A = this chain, B = another copy of it.
Amino acid sequence: MPTETLSTFQLESGAELHGVPVQYRTWGQLNERRDNAVVVCHALTGSADATQWWGDLLGSGRAFDPEDDFVICLNAPGSPYGSVSPITENPATGAPYGADFPRVTIRDTVRLHRRVLTERLGVRSVRLAAGGSMGGMQVLEWAFEEKENGAPLVQALAPVAVGGRHAPWQIGCSEAQRQAIYADPRWQDGRYAPGEGPTQGLAAARMMAMISYRSYDSYRERFGRDRMTPDPATAAAPSTSDAAPPPERQNGEAAAPLPTENAPFAVESYLRHQGEKLIDRFDARCYVALTRQMDSHDVARGRGAYDEVLRSIEQPAFVVSIDSDALYPPAEQRELVDHLPNAQLDVLSSPHGHDAFLIETETLSKRLRDWRRV
């Protein structure tokens, strides 16, 4: 995937980054008027390759149509997938930023992406910014970006499964996850060498996150109280690190017999497996940096009273709510729609909780496409 490198970029905190890489991917062509851009924003563990997580929304006749749209997805700073982050080189030292990576806000991410978009890719106007969860936070910040003449740079917004500011419940989830990382001795205040990070703490953090991303009902439906087939090794002494994919449910209402009592529950194995999967593809410092970035999300910070700031967002907005979302609950999207002067609420009914924005993608694509056509 291509990367643009900005020579300098000043963060909200005042810290200045030099030689700042931003990785991105595009689909389709910028038109002559340079006004057909669609910015797609990724979530916490996503990358600029939107085909990996929103592929169903991308394509001919879909929500983002490369035959007509110039679709761009840019990797967020702090993410391990190509943009500036704790694992990229700090030009001042020649070594990765590591623990010295500065605090980045959602607003920083959008301003950085905006520079790549306008200065490097030549975009003059953005038709739509769309994204879920952390991506949705960026969407709401994109609303405030202006052209040189003061008009909005972005003409329409599609925030999904998100609110206008990170709530204390969400910050609490973030912080408990960070504390699990900090409890791992390999954290070393973030000063660990490549490949020697706090993988066990990161796995525990991911397990916590996975619970908040799904719903009580979806876990019940999928796992019940099934246990893994007893393995002599793990049955003898329950391991703290065994990981295996979950079995298909078979026994329905039948109770598990006593002899398997020491075998892990299917849901435990599933969560351990999810933890193991993430540590293979993510860095703990990046996880801390991005969750802190999400905690910074507050469209009102420095702009005035929250309700009034929302009322100042005049673009048409398609606000998607997931009825089973326990982490970014429907009340947050109703609040957005109550205050955004030109918004439509779309409720996605799904048992999958917050993760539905990555699961119910066919439905999401159709509805967003139809909204764009109106």
Q: Which of A's residues lie within 8 Å of B, judged by CB?
A: 12-13, 103, 105, 165-169, 171-173, 175-176, 178-185, 187, 189, 198, 200-201, 203-204, 207-208, 210-211, 214-217, 219-220, 222-225, 240-241, 253-258, 261-262, 265-268, 271-272, 275, 295-296, 298, 300-307, 326, 329, 331
Contacts and interface: CB of A to CB of B under 8 A. Distances in A.
Contacts of A211: 169, 172-173, 176
B198 A183 contact: yes
21 contacts: A12-B261, A13-B261, A13-B262, A167-B219, A168-B222, A169-B214, A169-B220, A172-B207, A172-B268, A175-B268, A176-B207, A176-B271, A178-B240, A184-B184, A184-B185, A208-B208, A216-B329, A253-B300, A253-B307, A255-B301, A258-B302
Given A207-B172, A211-B176, A298-B225, A305 B254 contact: yes
A54 to B, nearest CB: 26
A203 B182 CA distance: 11
Nearest to A262: B103
A176 B253 CA distance: 25
A183 B168 contact: no
Nearest to A296: B261
A173 B13 CA distance: 35
A105 B258 CA distance: 11
Contacts of A178: 240
Nearest to A257: B302
Contacts of A180: 179-180, 183, 201, 204, 208
Nearest to A215: B169
Ranked 5 nearest A-B pairs via Cβ: A179-B204, A168-B267, A168-B223, A176-B207, A182-B240
A220 B172 CA distance: 11
A254 B253 CA distance: 51
A9 to B, nearest CB: 17
Contacts of A257: 302
A302 B189 contact: no
A16 to B, nearest CB: 16
A271 B170 CA distance: 12
Nearest to A198: B183
Given A182-B240, A183-B184, A225 B268 contact: no
A282 to B, nearest CB: 15
Contacts of A220: 167-169
Given A12-B258, A211-B176, A183 B169 contact: no
Contacts of A329: 216
A305 B183 contact: no
A242 B305 CA distance: 30
A216 B167 contact: yes
A173 B298 CA distance: 28
B179 A240 contact: yes
A284 B325 CA distance: 31
